[in-house]
Amino acid sequence: MDKLTIRQPDDWHLHVRNGSMLRSVIGHSARQFARAIVMPNLKPPVTTVAQALNYRQEILDALPEGSAFQPLMTLYLTGNTTPEEIKNAADCAHVYAFKLYPAGATTNSDAGVANIDAAYPLLEAMEKYGVPLLVHGEVTDAEYDIFDREKIFIDRTLSRIVRQFPGLRIVVEHLTTAEAVQFVESAATNVGATITPQHLLYNRNAMLAGGIRPHYYCLPILKREHHRQALLNAATGGNPKFFLGTDSAPHLTSLKENPCGCAGCFTAPIALELYAEAFASVGALDKLEGFASDFGADFYGLPRNSGTVTLAKQVWQVPEVYADADSGVAITPLRAGESLAWRLQV
């Protein structure tokens, strides 16, 4: 197969930051995706409908001229969130979910929920008003190994939430383990999951073997090969519970390549090419459209897109850096300077 045309996809987990960083990165997502669930972990976090609407307008103002890209906004769940704000979110046409970050789990998560049990009244309100919960599924206790944090969160926390709130729609974000795949597969239809391109393509050797490679460092961290294989089987198996979420997370190159580099892989410029590579690796390109374009829209109760995009089999080299001379933003993408076998036709 030399060309693949699919319904235009959506990105159900995306970071675009704000300010000059936003203006530098938003075009990469807009050229591929029709819509994206935008994460709220700014500084300060987006915690109210009013803040989300202001952020949405900032994104729209930063889009390339003529772009039809639609940001789907989320709110950051905190200990100060109220049931009234959850109802406000349910009533707002532009807010689609709340994001649960366990405090300290990832970038800008310090304001996250420290005591899940104390947040149960909020989850009850979300269930009542039909607002989805998006979960960064890791414990943050220092005594737990970083490679085990997802499994422990599922066993200790997420399984209880699912039992306690059977009507709550939940997206387990950026799955990384075989245990997480099994959990989602065995749960009811109101539980879905996103999978990133880096977790489909790489195990932890990509980050650690032959020297530390900071641009492969993300949270949840890359795991062992058998976990990657489980994710690949889930993504390419046609199960509508699993859908595309890049978790593209732009950071300045200077902040990634330093003694305490930050977590996140910048994949927005090459997202569809990476997914195509992963699906092609197991002869499952025919399954990419469902995963990328259909299942996420169905889960969120949104119409599938009417347009199409085309990927061509063409070897090309990923730029070493995406730089904006006017703003000083310079971001190193995943696979910088390396070759890809597929290219989006625009």
Extents of the domains making up the chain: 3-345
Residue 317 has pLDDT above 80, yes or no: yes
Q: Is 304 annotated as a binding residue?
A: no
Mean pLDDT of the chain: 95
The tens digit of pLDDT for each residue in 109-148 reads: 566 677 888 899 999 999 999 999 999 999 988 899 999 9
Catalytic residue from among 2, 91, 117, 247: 247
Mean pLDDT of 298-321: 98
Asked if 247 is an active-site residue, the reply is yes
Q: Is 247 annotated as a binding residue?
A: yes
Confidence of residue 346 (pLDDT cuts 50, 70, 90): confident
Q: Is 17 annotated as a binding residue?
A: yes
The model's pTM:
0.96
Residue 167 has pLDDT above 60, yes or no: yes
Confidence of residue 18 (pLDDT cuts 50, 70, 90): very high
In the CATH scheme, what is the code of domain 3-345? 3.20.20.140
pLDDT for the residue 141: 86
Confidence of residue 327 (pLDDT cuts 50, 70, 90): confident
The span from the CA of 129 to the CA of 9, in Å, is 27
Closest CA to 153 of 198, 191, 102, 200: 102
Q: Is 28 annotated as a binding residue?
A: no
The span from the CA of 139 to the CA of 102, in Å, is 7
The tens digit of pLDDT for each residue in 213-265 reads: 999 999 999 999 999 999 999 999 999 999 999 999 999 999 999 999 999 99
The span from the CA of 331 to the CA of 226, in Å, is 31
